Amino acid sequence: MIFIPYLLRSNAILQRDKVTTFWGYTDPQQRVELDYDNRHLETSATSDGYFQFELAPHAASGPITFTLTSGTDQVTSKNVLFGDVWLLSGQSNMQLWMQRLVARYPDEIENAKDTDIHFFMVPQRYDFSHGDSELDSGKWQIAVGKNIEMLSGIGYFYAQLQRRATHVPIGLISTAIGGTPIRSWVSHKTLTAMEELPQNFDKLSDQSFINGYVSENDHYQKYYERVCDRSDQGILKDWTQANVDDSRWDSLPLDGEDWPEMYRQPGTIWIRKHLRMPARLVGKSAEFRLGTFVDADETYLNGQKIGETGYQYPPRNYRISSLPAEITLVVRLHIFSAPGGPRFGKKHLLITDEESVDLDAQGDWLVKRGCWLPPKKESVFPQYQPVGLFNGMIYPLRRLNLKGVLWYQGESDVARPLNYDHVFLRLIQEWRQLFQSAELPFLYVQLPNCAIEPNHVWSKIRLAQKSGLELNHTAMIVALGLGEDNDLHPLNKRGVAQQLFEASQQISKYPNGYCNGPLALGAWVDNQQIRIKFVTFDQKLVISQGYFELIKNGQIIRLSDFKIVGKTIVIVVPEEVKVCSGDRIRYAWGNSPVICLRNGTNQPASPFILEIEKGFYQNDLLANL
Other CB atoms closer than 10 Å to residue 327's CB: what's the count?
19
Q: How far apart are CA 248 and CA 383, in angstroms?
A: 46
Same domain, 353 and 245: yes
Q: What is the DSSP letter of 183?
A: G
Over range 171-195, report the average pLDDT.
98
Same domain, 403 and 493: yes
Query: Smallest Cα–Cα separation from 178: which of 296, 94, 294?
Result: 94
Same domain, 532 and 578: yes
| Structural domain contains residue 60 | no
Same domain, 483 and 529: no
| Structural domain contains residue 314 | yes
Q: Is the pLDDT of residue 623 over 80?
A: no
The full 3-state SS of 389-409, as one line of letters, equals HHHHHHHHHCCCCCCEEEEEC
Q: How far apart are CA 360 and CA 363, in angstroms?
A: 6
Q: Per the structure, how many domains does the chain have?
A: 3
Same domain, 511 and 532: no
Supply the mean pLDDT for the chain. 95
Q: Is the pLDDT of residue 596 over 60?
A: yes
Over range 400-429, report the average pLDDT.
97
Over range 507-515, report the average pLDDT.
97
> Quick one: pLDDT at residue 231?
97
Q: How far apart are CA 152 and CA 112, in angstroms?
A: 13
Same domain, 246 and 357: yes
Contact present, 612 and 530 (Cβ < 8 Å)? yes
Q: How far apart are CA 44 and CA 53, in angstroms?
A: 10
Q: Is the pLDDT of residue 590 over 50?
A: yes
- Give the burial class of 245: count Cβ atoms within 10 A of its Cβ; 0-12 exposed, 13-18 middle, 19 or more buried: exposed
CATH of the domain at 420: 3.40.50.1110
Same domain, 255 and 367: yes
| Structural domain contains residue 225 | no
Same domain, 400 and 473: yes
Q: Is the pLDDT of residue 624 over 60?
A: no
> Quick one: pLDDT at residue 617?
46
Per-residue pLDDT tens digits for 242-276: 999 999 999 999 986 788 999 999 999 999 999 99
> Quick one: pLDDT at residue 582?
87
328, 344, 372: which is the final residue of a domain? Answer: 372
| Structural domain contains residue 240 | yes
> Quick one: pLDDT at residue 255?
80
Q: Is the pLDDT of residue 620 over 80?
A: no
Per-residue pLDDT tens digits for 73-102: 999 999 999 999 999 999 999 999 999 999
Beta bridge partners of 532: 523, 569
| Structural domain contains residue 143 | yes
307, 340, 372: which is the final residue of a domain? Answer: 372
Per-residue pLDDT tens digits for 273-293: 999 999 999 999 999 999 999
CATH of the domain at 557: 2.60.40.1220
Q: Is the pLDDT of residue 621 over 50?
A: no
Reported confidence tier of residue 614, pLDDT bands at 50, 70, 90: confident
Q: Is the pLDDT of residue 298 over 50?
A: yes
Q: What is the DSSP letter of 364?
A: P
Supply angle C-alpha 208, 209, 215, rounded to 5. 85
Over range 539-552, report the average pLDDT.
96
Contact present, 249 and 368 (Cβ < 8 Å)? yes
Strands in 304-309's sheet, in edge-to-edge order, are 250-252, 365-372, 267-276, 326-335, 296-301, 304-309
Over range 488-496, report the average pLDDT.
97
Residues 385-413 as b/e (b if ≥16 CB within 10 A, e otherwise) read bbbbbbbbbbbbbebbbbbbbbbbbbbbb
312, 346, 372: which is the final residue of a domain? Answer: 372
Q: Is the pLDDT of residue 456 over 70?
A: yes
Dihedral over Cα of 198, 203, 207, 213: its sign: negative
| Structural domain contains residue 22 | no
CATH of the domain at 245: 2.60.120.260
| Structural domain contains residue 39 | no
Per-residue pLDDT tens digits for 39-71: 999 999 999 999 999 999 999 998 999 999 999
Domain that holds residue 501: 81-197+386-516
Q: How far apart are CA 198 and CA 128, in angstroms?
A: 13
Q: What is the pTM of this model?
A: 0.95
Q: What is the DSSP letter of 583?
A: B
Same domain, 507 and 526: no
| Structural domain contains residue 61 | no
Over range 610-616, report the average pLDDT.
82
> Quick one: pLDDT at residue 227?
97
Q: What separation in angstroms does the CA of 577 have from each of 194, 197, 558, 613, 616? A: 42, 45, 11, 16, 20
Same domain, 245 and 368: yes
Same domain, 497 and 577: no
Same domain, 466 and 525: no
